[in-house]
């Protein structure tokens, strides 16, 4: 099958998943109504008489659409981040989490939750902003420390230092959780991720971050392709390996950090999506980066759909669903590729 | 074209090669030989800029320390040894990566028609054009080595550095590679600098030889001068000439000596 045809099919699939994410729930809304409400809100197009004045409009516009779009953005961002990390670190199990983004962000979130600390002009965004800052600081500290230990910034050094930093920050987090038992449930819930009660403000803030981050990473797709063959080869082919590595690691961590800052830690999508994409489209990053957005985004929307409908009216944390589906699925994708099935 | 003056280099502050001076002219092929651990690969790494050096390395009269990384990469390409393939690409995609510096500056570094044409030309040169859509993870060591050669050629360098390029090749492909490189330097006016363990192939490829021993130059001169001296016996601590002649006599006793390979690349 031609790659362009596969890309078109994937985009159609993603659109269908988003429509499904918006349409399904405690109240089911047909796709035609979803499209009508979107056109009405954006272009002031007239609404069909059968939904005018109903709660379906609020459900679609105020609840489901921002939630689904946020899930798509978060899934896309962490999937792209995962594909970049795997290429730069030449390790199919690498992700931003390897460098401590999630541990750092969780620590930041824990400090905000336990202390009730609030940045005045940020208000409710104090938690995500603090999470992002802590996540990024952890990654920068890990990479900087790795650079001090090994001026060539070898991949193995980065992975090892990242793991050490991640474990250390996790240890601090465990101490905080043990000391603040009143907030244990809230802390645990944040670490499992959720799109519950998310509105347009999160989408509006995250959208430009994700768009710019992905566009810049896409511009480095050739460098990523070359670097998968080894850093010495990349260097002799004219790639400024040290600089490019810093840029890619930072951007990748920023993408994951921004995404999880809003919704909490969500694992596995950053591992699964790049593998699925490479299996379907090959390893060329020119395709892997944009297709990771579509696959990661769609997978996240489906997981969120399951999380909010499977025990309706209650909700499961979406991180639990991604892990439940993701772990066996990842094992299948990874080992079937190795066996050439 | 390439000159080295008193170049020393090594790892972790300890020099492995000391005061190496040499000059490689346009169209000249140089082979670096010597026993294991004598500093052959270190010299290649120093010339390519992978490891820092003291002394002076000049390309076309310009010190490489005063050149940007991409300027050096446009002049010198390194044909790498086969390493682990983490993510598989098609042969065409892999060779096209050699055009990286030529694509730089364009939006998303899109290849031009010229880049695609040149990639096809390189693939034809190494005999892989007809299977260009095959994944490199499915190739034999010999085919993969030819993919890397094509990628190196796609860089359009003036000098190709080779570090034991025939490692994964059978005899037929070894001779094809050496013949191809000789033709490339002869007709394009470029140079090849290669680290070789196989003395027969080194003699076949090179105009000049550099013999390293314990990081120092043991001899540097024309290939004929080097192989006709007793120096190789001293450096390798064995009777190299006798070994070669004995081997040849063995083949001759079966009447199996063929002076030239029957087929060549492209």
Q: Is B48 on the interface with A (CB under 8 A)?
A: yes
Q: Measured between beta carbons, which residues in chain B are less than 8 angstroms from residue A230?
A: 80, 83
Distance from C-alpha of A81 to C-alpha of A95, rounded to nearest angstrom:
7
CA distance B88 to chain A (A): 6
Tell me which residues of chain A, numbers 204 to 223, contact chain B at a CB-CB cutoff of 8 Å.
Answer: 218-219, 221-223
Distance from C-alpha of B146 to C-alpha of A141, rounded to nearest angstrom:
42
- The pLDDT mean for chain B works out to 86
CA distance A270 to chain B (A): 16
Q: Is B82 on the interface with A (CB under 8 A)?
A: no
In three state form, how does the secondary structure of B156-176 look? CCCEEEEECCCCCCCHHHHHH
ipTM of this predicted structure: 0.85
- What single-letter DSSP state applies at residue A97? G
Sheet holding B14-24, edge to edge: B14-24, B2-11, B53-59, B62-63
8 A C-beta contact, residue A189 and residue A317: yes
Q: Which of B77, B83, B93 sits opposite A284 (nearest CB)?
A: B93
Give the phi and the psi of residue B54 in degrees, each rounded to 5: -110, 165
Of A306-315, B119-128, B168-177, B227-236, which has the strongest mean pLDDT?
Answer: B119-128
pLDDT for B256 equals 63
8 A C-beta contact, residue A198 and residue A263: yes
pLDDT for A17 equals 95
Of B52, B84, B86, B101, which to mutate for an interface test with A (greatest number of A Cβ within 10 Å)?
B86
**Helix (H), strand (E) at residue B29:** strand B29-33
pLDDT of B200-218, one tens digit each?
888 999 999 999 989 999 8
Structure tokens at A136: 């990024």
Find the Cα–Cα–Cα–Cα dihedral B119, B121, B122, B124, rounded to 10°. Answer: 120
Q: Is B155 on the interface with A (CB under 8 A)?
A: yes
Q: What share of chain B is helix, strand, coil (3-state, %, to 5)?
A: 45, 25, 30
pLDDT for B258 equals 58
B87, A283: Cβ pair inside 8 Å?
yes
Q: Is B83 on the interface with A (CB under 8 A)?
A: yes
**Helix (H), strand (E) at residue B33:** strand B29-33
Q: Is B76 on the interface with A (CB under 8 A)?
A: yes
Count of CB pairs separated by less than 8 Å, A with B = 79
Surface-to-core class of residue A2, CB atoms within 10 Å of its CB (0-12 exposed, 13-18 middle, 19+ buried): exposed
pLDDT of B142-198, one tens digit each?
888 889 999 999 999 999 998 888 777 788 888 888 888 888 888 888 899 999 888
B89, A283: Cβ pair inside 8 Å?
yes
Q: What is chain A's pLDDT, residue by residue, as a tens digit (341 residues)?
A: 688 899 999 999 999 999 999 988 888 888 888 888 888 888 888 888 777 777 788 888 888 999 999 999 999 999 999 999 888 887 777 777 778 888 888 888 888 888 877 777 777 677 778 878 888 888 888 888 888 887 767 778 888 888 898 889 889 988 988 888 888 887 887 777 888 777 888 888 889 888 999 999 999 999 999 998 888 889 999 999 888 988 998 888 888 888 887 888 888 888 888 988 998 998 999 999 999 999 999 999 999 999 888 887 788 888 888 888 888 877 777 676 555 44
Residue A159 sits at the vertex; the CA angle it makes with A296 and A283, to the nearest 5 degrees, is 40
Residue with tokens 């998968």: A228
pLDDT for B209 equals 92
8 A C-beta contact, residue A295 and residue A277: yes
Q: How far is CA B255 from the centre of its chain?
A: 33
CA distance B51 to chain A (A): 10
Q: Measured between beta carbons, which residues in chain A are less than 8 angstroms from residue B155?
A: 237
B101, A238: Cβ pair inside 8 Å?
yes
pLDDT for B135 equals 92
Q: Is B49 on the interface with A (CB under 8 A)?
A: yes
Q: Is B89 on the interface with A (CB under 8 A)?
A: yes
- The mean pLDDT of B43-63, rounded to a whole number, is 91
Structure tokens at A110: 């824990």
pLDDT for A180 equals 82
Q: Is B98 on the interface with A (CB under 8 A)?
A: yes
pLDDT of B8-33, one tens digit each?
999 988 999 999 999 999 889 999 99
pLDDT for A341 equals 42
């Amino acid at each position: 099958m031609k790659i362009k045809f596969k890309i078109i099919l994937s985009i159609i699939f993603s659109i269908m998943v988003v429509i499904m994410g918006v349409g399904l729930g405690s109240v089911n809304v047909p796709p035609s109504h979803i499209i009508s409400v979107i056109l009405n809100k954006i272009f002031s197009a007239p609404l069909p008489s059968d939904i005018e004045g109903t709660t379906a409009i609020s459900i679609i516009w105020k609840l489901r659409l921002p939630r689904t779009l946020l899930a798509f953005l978060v899934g896309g961002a962490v999937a792209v981040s995962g594909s970049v990390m795997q290429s730069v670190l030449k390790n199919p199990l690498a992700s931003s989490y390897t460098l401590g983004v999630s541990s750092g962000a969780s620590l930041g979130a824990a400090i905000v939750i336990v202390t009730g600390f609030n940045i005045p002009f940020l208000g409710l965004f104090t938690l995500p902003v603090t999470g992002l800052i802590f996540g990024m600081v952890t990654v920068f500290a890990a990479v900087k420390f790795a650079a001090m230990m090994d001026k060539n910034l070898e991949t193995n050094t980065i992975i090892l230092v990242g793991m050490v930093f991640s474990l250390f920050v996790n240890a601090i987090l465990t101490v905080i959780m043990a000391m603040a038992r009143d907030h244990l449930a809230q802390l645990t819930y944040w670490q499992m991720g959720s799109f519950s009660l998310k509105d347009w403000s999160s989408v509006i803030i995250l959208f430009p971050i994700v768009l710019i981050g992905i566009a810049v990473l896409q511009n480095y797709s050739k460098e990523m392709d070359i670097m998968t063959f080894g850093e010495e080869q990349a260097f002799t082919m004219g790639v400024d390996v040290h600089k490019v590595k810093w840029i890619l690691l930072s951007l990748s961590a920023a993408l994951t950090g921004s995404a999880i800052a809003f919704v909490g830690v969500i694992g596995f999508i950053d591992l699964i999506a790049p593998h699925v994409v490479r299996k379907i489209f090959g390893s060329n990053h020119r395709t892997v980066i944009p297709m990771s957005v579509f696959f990661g985004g769609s997978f996240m929307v489906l997981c969120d759909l399951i999380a909010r409908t499977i025990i309706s009216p209650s909700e499961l944390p979406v991180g639990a669903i991604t892990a439940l589906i993701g772990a066996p699925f990842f094992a299948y994708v990874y080992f079937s590729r190795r066996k050439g099935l | 074209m390439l000159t080295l003056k008193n170049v020393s280099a090594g790892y972790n502050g300890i020099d492995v090669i000391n005061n190496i001076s040499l000059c490689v002219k346009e169209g000249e092929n140089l082979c670096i030989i010597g026993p294991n651990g004598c500093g052959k690969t270190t010299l290649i790494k120093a010339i390519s800029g992978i490891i820092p050096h003291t002394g002076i390395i000049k390309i076309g009269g310009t010190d490489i320390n005063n050149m940007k990384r991409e300027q050096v990469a446009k002049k010198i390409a390194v044909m790498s040894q086969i390493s682990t393939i983490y993510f598989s690409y098609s042969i065409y995609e892999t060779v096209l990566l050699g055009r990286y510096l030529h694509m730089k500056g364009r939006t998303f570094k899109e290849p031009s028609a010229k880049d695609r044409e040149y990639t096809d030309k390189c693939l034809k040169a190494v005999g892989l054009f007809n299977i260009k859509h095959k994944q490199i993870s499915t190739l034999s060591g010999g085919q993969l080595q030819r993919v890397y050669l094509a990628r190196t050629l796609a860089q359009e360098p003036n000098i190709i550095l080779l570090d034991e390029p025939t490692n994964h090749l059978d005899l037929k492909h070894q001779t094809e590679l050496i013949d191809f490189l000789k033709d490339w330097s002869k007709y394009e006016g470029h140079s090849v600098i290669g680290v070789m363990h196989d003395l027969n192939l080194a003699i076949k490829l090179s105009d000049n030889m550099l013999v390293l021993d314990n990081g120092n130059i043991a001899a540097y001169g024309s290939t004929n001068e080097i192989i006709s001296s007793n120096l190789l016996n001293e450096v390798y601590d064995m009777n190299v000439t006798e070994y070669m002649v004995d081997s040849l006599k063995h083949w001759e006793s079966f009447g199996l000596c063929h002076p030239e390979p029957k087929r060549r690349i492209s």
